[in-house]
Amino acid sequence: MELTTETEELEKKEIARRYRALLKVSNNVKTRKDKARVRKAFDLALEAHKDMRRKSGEPYIYHPIEVARIVAEEIGLGTTSIICALLHDTVEDTDLTLDDVERMFGPKERVIIDGLTKISGVVDFTASMQAENFRKILLTLSDDVRVILIKLADRLHNMRTLDSMPRNKQLKIASETVFLFAPLAHRLGLYAIKTELEDLALKYTEPDVYEEISSKLKKTKAVRTRFVNRFSLPIQEELARQGVEFEMKARTKSIYSIFNKMRKKNIPFEEIYDVFAIRIIIDAKPEKEKAECWNAYSVVTDFYQPNPDRLRDWLSTPKANGYESLHTTVMSPGGRWVEVQIRSKRMDEIAEKGYAAHWKYKEGSSENNFDNWINKIRDLLENPEENAIEFIDDFKLNLFAEEIFIFTPKGEIKNLPKGASALDFAFEIHTEVGAHCMGAKVNTKLVPLSTELKSGDQVEIITSKKQKPNESWLDYVITGKAKSKIKASLREDKKRLAEEGEKKFGKWLKKHEIRKTQHNIKELQTLFRQPSPLEMYYKFEINQIPLKKVEQLEIIKGKIVGKVQETKEVNEIQERLKQKNPAEEMLVIGEEMDHFEYKLAPCCNPIPGDEVFGFITINEGIKIHKTNCPNAIQLMSHYAYRIVKARWTSQQKIAFLAGIKVTGIDDVGLVNNITRLISGELNVNMRSISFDSEDGVFDGTIMVYVHDTKHLTRLIDKLKSVDGVINVSRIEG
């Protein structure tokens, strides 16, 4: 697009205005040197992005300026972070290199920008890719937490400007935001950002619900305000009379959390009683803030009856993400429960902006909690054997969990997720304590190690040198730490037992006059149906091998010669194949129907043209799998002797079932066009078709009968040319 000089001038002015606005909120940029560095970063970013525009058509530089503003104003970070936010997209998208950054700014800036570049902006939508990206994000945590904070600011601005993206991208970015970034913001204590991310995501994933809730909130606002004013008045008067400096306001629940509650409890908007909470924020000196909060509590409960079950004291024991506050729920004169949150100004700032804001208050005691959290993540990351998805599952469990507080015998406090057991607590204290845990005393009473703990319990762990983890322990624990330590110990155990077992197995072989050769071990594996020698030795050690079966073997001079029953069957089929087809010794699918019993594996639905192999099953004849079927690798590695080669016959007389996935933008008559194309023009038989359409985006699954892959590819190509169709692919596995 050609720009006139006039709009160019206007844009220049707008860029300068936005930059000034950034400086205005950058309270932590104080010295002249810092100001010059920020200016340098801005000039550099401006130059690097000068020919780039955002999807909305705006100059690209608006984005880094805005991310820097969020970092400075909404998270409260300083010069280094502002510089990195301004430069966050330069190394990835322009000619600027990390060396340039280090030379011009320094090593810290290099590390942070490097971290930001490693985490890709929008990941592919498969769960494992997301999990891997999430893992990467967490790994950068151990470098510098500012990477995550800037990444969150980046995501927040992208969510705020999501309107100009195409619909499918909107959905992708929004769901990733809920899956990954909102929980992270929550865990870092960035409450305001977490809430906004969730609300924005809902706006794009469920626009109708979002609209409904926000309009109902607007409609009920006047009534709410009147109620809040009447409720607050006596409290305000009394606090003012005592000379307390305070602010009182009503906080409405986020649209997302109202939506969540409606869905979880299956109730309409009108039945949610805690749409808002009253917040009292006290301006008190750090040494007095706790006493002042309890004083306010006393004033509130002088006027309104509190619910004793709903008192939450996060003053004495802050949450692991640093949240400090005093919550109570009281009965209003209208007969309705109202939540009141009492906290100091400092606590409020931490609650809204997170730890970053808190770094300003060095003397704060909860800083340790943050370190604890980072340490826990490091613990989890230590275990590289776990796959990414399992890792994320364990980790997310800990991210979302509510917390309980448990006391050690010496009165120390440990945070654990709700649902944690005595065994979790033991591992929380120390790996060795966990590994030797026999049971526990909860509030001086002896209980089994599987006992679920409650907040406030005092727990003493009883250990024994003889005790060690076993398989069932995995059912008793919920923390990632305990899980990964138990799994590691079980693996160790198995290895040790297998070593023991191998020695004894050697003796057993001798007794039966079988030599320990590779051939014999393979035969025995087949006989005992064990996937690996290690597994066989282990099972031998724990007496889970049906040793009597050895009688079926024919042994000559220490060598196993007679085949086992199962192997006999396999051999028989192989033999028949050889006779039928001496040239190739393979199964020709479509020709030998009468001679061999075989089926197409439902896990990968192979069709002619696919590369395939046959697998001789125990009771169901031969099963045909695609060579890239996820099950294939396992089958081939464990049961190589049961694999038969297979190919398709060249005669196309049969039709095969295949699945096709279609996504696109819905349009009147689109489904019609697709079905007409399939059954009419291409003369393909359709078995089933199902479409999910939501807000103009449809997701379709079509099952069709085709002759071979060529036929299928032709069909897919045709479908791609239908107006409104975005993506067509074969359903694999």
Q: Provide the binding-site residues for Mn ion, judged by CB under 5 A.
A: 89, 154
**Minimum distance of Mn ion from residue 116's CB (angstroms):** 8
Q: How far apart are the C-alpha atoms of 720 and 270, rounded to whole Å?
A: 46
Q: How far apart are the C-alpha atoms of 439 and 463, rounded to whole Å?
A: 7
**Minimum distance of Mn ion from residue 17's CB (angstroms):** 21
Q: Which is nearer to Mn ion, 154 or 541 (CB)?
A: 154
Q: Which of 8, 92, 382, 475 is catalytic?
A: 92
Residue in the shown chain whose Cβ atom is closest to Mn ion: 154
The DSSP secondary-structure symbol of 682 reads: S
Q: At 700, give phi and psi (nearest 5°).
A: -120, 145
Q: Which is nearer to Mn ion, 85 or 564 (CB)?
A: 85
The DSSP secondary-structure symbol of 53 reads: B
Q: Which is nearer to Mn ion, 67 or 715 (CB)?
A: 67
**Minimum distance of Mn ion from residue 85's CB (angstroms):** 9
Q: Which is nearer to Mn ion, 89 or 198 (CB)?
A: 89
For this structure, is 432 an active site residue? no
Question: CB-based burial of residue 678 (10 Å sphere; 0-12 exposed, 13-18 middle, 19+ buried)?
Answer: buried
**Minimum distance of Mn ion from residue 67's CB (angstroms):** 6
Q: Which of 93, 114, 238, 666 is catalytic?
A: 93
Q: Structure tokens of 174? A: 């929004």
**Minimum distance of Mn ion from residue 52's CB (angstroms):** 11
Q: How far apart are the C-alpha atoms of 599 and 621, rounded to whole Å?
A: 8
Written in H, E and C, the secondary structure of 147-168 is HHHHHHHHHHHHHHCHHHCCHH
Amino acid letter, residue 82: I
Q: Which residues, in sequence order, are bridge partners of residue 247?
A: 281
Q: Which is nearer to Mn ion, 71 or 725 (CB)?
A: 71
Q: How far apart are the C-alpha atoms of 707 and 653, rounded to whole Å?
A: 8
Q: Which is nearer to Mn ion, 58 or 667 (CB)?
A: 58
Phi-psi label, residue 405: left if phi above 0, alpha if psi -120 to 50, beta otherwise? beta
**Minimum distance of Mn ion from residue 97's CB (angstroms):** 18
**Minimum distance of Mn ion from residue 20's CB (angstroms):** 21
Q: How far apart are the C-alpha atoms of 549 and 539, rounded to whole Å?
A: 15
Q: Which is nearer to Mn ion, 121 or 609 (CB)?
A: 121
Q: Which is nearer to Mn ion, 176 or 457 (CB)?
A: 176
Q: Which residues, in sequence order, are bridge partners of residue 343?
A: 281
**Minimum distance of Mn ion from residue 121's CB (angstroms):** 6
Contacts of 376 (CB under 8 A, 6+ apart): 398, 480, 481
DSSP states along 404-471: EEEE-TTS-EEEEETT-BHHHHHHHH-HHHHHTEEEEEETTEEE-TTPBP-TT-BEEEEE-TT----T
Q: Which is nearer to Mn ion, 68 or 340 (CB)?
A: 68
Count of all residues that appear for the chain in the document:
733
Please, what is the end-to-end C-alpha distance for the chain in angstroms?
46
Q: How far apart are the C-alpha atoms of 664 and 30, rounded to whole Å?
A: 52
For this structure, is 99 an active site residue? no
**Minimum distance of Mn ion from residue 28's CB (angstroms):** 22
Written in H, E and C, the secondary structure of 610-677 is ECEEEEECCCCCEEEEECCCHHHHHHHHHCHHHEEEEEECCCCCCCEEEEEEEEEECCCCHHHHHHHH
Alpha carbon of 726 to those of 126, 455, 518, 679: distances in Å?
18, 52, 54, 21
Residues known to be catalytic: 92-93
